[in-house]
Amino acid sequence: MYNLETREKLEFKDIRKIFTSGFKPADTHKIGIEYERLPVASSTFEAVPYDGENGVCALLRTIAKEENWDYITDDFSIIGLKHNHDTITLEPGCQFELSLEPEFTIKKLEEKIKTLNKKFAPVLENAGIKLLEYGVSPLSTHKNIKLIPKKRYHIMAKYLWGILSDVMMRETAGIQCCIDFESEEDAMKKFETASKLSPFMTAMFANSPIRGGVYTGYKTFRALSWLNTDNDRCGFAGNLNPDFSIDDYINCVLDSPMIFINRENLPIQLNGKLTFRDFMKNGFEGFEATLDDFELHANLYFPEVRLRNFIEIRNHDCVGKGLQYSLLAIYKGIMYDKYAIAEFDELMKDFRAKDLSELRYNVPKSGMQAKIGRYSVTEIAPKIIEIAEKALIGGDYREDSYLDPIKEFTEKGICPADIIIRNWHSLWNKDLNRLVKYLSE
């Protein structure tokens, strides 16, 4: 039994303020990106470890020294870098995540990414590392990818259930899009829209068919891994209920099992023994719930679309060749235009929550050929792009050209994985070197 803490009891209204603090006037809304890539050795294509002379930790040290970035640490271990409002952080298997300060334009994000890529290129080359814009480790599997020395990840790895949770943590890389809102009504409408868009976008940007050096039979093995990771905290929050509110979202988080809390920088493991609601009501071994505890717990809740003081859309394989900006353009075009949202509603009107849930399960294997009702994604995707395009053409920045890379795919009824699969079985003759070269071009 630990000493009982003395502090004011955490209340629902305190938690609610986290989300309502995100309300912003529409003319200040920006778009953000969290962009994970896979570090692989240029010579062997194996996942680059954290330690070692040419490991990811050494890479971070060199970047910090040459580009004047500050360290982010966990105890004495370097787990990332920060420079002003931009960060580089490491995911559990050393995936290299770039999180940029949100901007008004996609062009500004693109320019920043290109500038950083150019700066980092000689450092990466000297270390013999490539950062692949791909959804799953092409050769190394979780069995030979060690977790980085971050306490949270080791606790998560022991707790998360699901036959592919280790794959999700150690092997996969994705792109997340961040969207602002001005009110609860606006937030929840965008949350509903993003949740309905989610399985279609997973299909359109599927980009992880080769894993462990072989074709897996799936267009997006990354999406498959999420389907097999801890259903207590993954999937659709609220099951696409059209009346879903901020309070309902908070209740979903409150009713999910807790993994751990932090006290004095030390983790106290709960291992699913109680929900956060139970913790708020009764405490745990003398500890009382705090707002920091809730924020940690909410960050360990992984729905397809996550509500914070912004909306975080999380369900896409990492992609390159301009597709990363197409992804942002679709969300920006639809989310920031009320007519586009209404048009998307009309497109979705005949689909039930059950249809969208089934689509989510069909997409990893079938990609653009996945069925929803009597339609396939190949029929719906061009209409989604058309809705976004109209909104972007009428917008202040004319960003419709960012849709061109994804239009090339959807007009043919294919996703990025289809190109890889076709070449893998023909021109590349299952040669991993050809895959990595293609991904690096």
User: What is the 3-class SS of the chain, one letter each residue?
Assistant: CCCCCCCCCCCHHHHHHHHHCCECCHHHCCEEEEEEEEEEECCCCCECCCCCCCCHHHHHHHHHHHHCCEEEEECCEEEEEEECCEEEEECCCCCEEEECCCECCHHHHHHHHHHHHHHHHHHHHHHCEEEECCCECCCCCHHHCCCCCCHHHHHHHHHCCCCCHHHHHHHECEEEEEECECCHHHHHHHHHHHHHHHHHHHHHCCCECEECCEECCCCEHHHHHHHCCCCCCEECHHHHCCCCCHHHHHHHHHCCECCEEEECCEEEECCCCCEHHHHHHHCECCECCCHHHHHHHHHCCEECEEECCCEEEEEEECCCCCHHHHHHHHHHHHHCCHHHHHHHHHHHCCCCHHHHHHHHHHHHHHHHHCEECCEEHHHHHHHHHHHHHHHHHCCCCCCHHHHHHHHHHHCCCCCHHHHHHHHHCCCCCCCHHHHHHHHHC
Q: Is the pTM of this model over 0.85?
A: yes
What pLDDT score was predicted for residue 5?
A: 55
What pLDDT score was predicted for residue 3?
A: 47
Domains of the chain: 12-440 (3.30.590.20)
Query: In a structure prediction context, what are the per-residue pLDDT tens digits for the chain, which is 441 residues long?
Result: 444 555 679 999 999 999 999 999 999 999 999 999 999 999 999 999 999 999 999 999 999 999 999 999 999 999 999 999 999 999 999 999 999 999 999 999 999 999 999 999 999 999 999 999 999 999 999 999 999 999 999 999 999 999 999 999 999 999 999 999 999 999 999 999 999 999 999 999 999 999 999 999 999 999 999 999 999 999 999 878 889 999 999 999 999 999 999 999 899 999 999 999 999 999 999 999 999 999 999 999 999 999 999 999 999 999 999 999 999 999 999 999 999 999 999 999 999 999 999 999 999 999 999 999 999 999 999 999 999 999 999 888 899 999 999 999 999 999 999 999 999 999 999 999 999 999 998
